[in-house]
């Protein structure tokens, strides 16, 4: 019985020190005394939202669904025009989504490898087959049988990473 009482006492002391630290940091950050009721209500609401079975799917991280793009060439051309690269590898392009594929409009994340312009040195053109950029874009598409048709006007570039 002594071990259980000691464990409960340690847990209670931990909670007390945590709350004291929380209130003191609130005071330091806001330069005002904390509203104890609102801070405790916020903590309880946060804990119950994690435990609530209705929001378990929001807490869990799902794997994205891989999609086959039916209009790869037009998507590659649009990404090439927007990102100002000299070429996009159609074979390396992939699309994923976290959205339900039964919906009409599906938000899609597109990744592709881009190429820089050929280097010219001393009147020699050297064409490298190594990609120069990794391009991440977002767009909206519609499912057609097992493939997605991405609206090229909805494509927006998220990031362009230089590969070394």
Give the per-residue pLDDT at 57.
57
**pLDDT 10s digits, 134-164:** 889 999 988 888 888 888 888 888 888 887 7
Distance, first Cα to last Cα, the chain? 63
Write phi, then psi, for 137 (nearest 5 degrees). -130, 160
122: confidence class by pLDDT, cuts 50, 70, 90: very low
The number of domains in the chain is 2
Residue 50 and residue 23 share a domain: yes
Residue 91 and residue 154 share a domain: yes
Parallel, antiparallel or unpaired: strands 94-97 and 119-121: unpaired
Residue 133 and residue 98 share a domain: yes
Residue 48 and residue 125 share a domain: no
Q: Is 47 exposed, middle or buried (0-12, 13-18, 19+ CB in 10 A)?
A: exposed
Choose the final residue of a domain: 39, 59, 79.
59
Under 8 Å CB-to-CB from 55, ≥6 apart: which residues? 49
124: confidence class by pLDDT, cuts 50, 70, 90: low
Q: How far apart are CA 51 and CA 38, in angstroms?
A: 20
**pLDDT 10s digits, 85-103:** 888 888 888 988 887 777 7
Rounded to two decimals, the pTM is 0.57
Residue 69 and residue 54 share a domain: no
Residue 55 and residue 130 share a domain: no
7: confidence class by pLDDT, cuts 50, 70, 90: very high
Residue 70 and residue 41 share a domain: no
- Structural domain including 86 reads 65-162
Q: Residue 97 is encoded by which pair of tokens?
A: 């989504």
């Amino acid at each position: 019985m002594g071990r259980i009482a000691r464990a409960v006492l340690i847990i209670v002391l931990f909670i007390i020190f945590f709350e004291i630290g929380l209130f003191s940091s609130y005071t330091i950050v806001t330069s005002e005394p904390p509203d104890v009721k609102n801070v405790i209500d916020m903590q309880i609401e946060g804990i119950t939202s994690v435990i609530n079975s209705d929001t378990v799917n929001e807490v869990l991280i799902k794997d994205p669904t891989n999609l086959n793009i039916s209009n790869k060439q037009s998507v590659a051309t649009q990404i090439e025009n927007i990102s100002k690269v000299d070429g996009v590898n159609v074979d390396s392009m992939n699309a994923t989504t976290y959205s339900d594929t039964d919906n009409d409009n599906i938000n899609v994340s597109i990744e592709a490898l881009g190429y820089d312009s050929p280097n010219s040195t001393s009147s020699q053109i050297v064409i490298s087959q190594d990609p120069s950029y990794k391009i991440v874009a977002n767009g909206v598409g519609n499912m057609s049988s097992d493939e997605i048709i991405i609206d090229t006007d909805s494509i927006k570039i998220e990031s362009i990473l230089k590969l070394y």
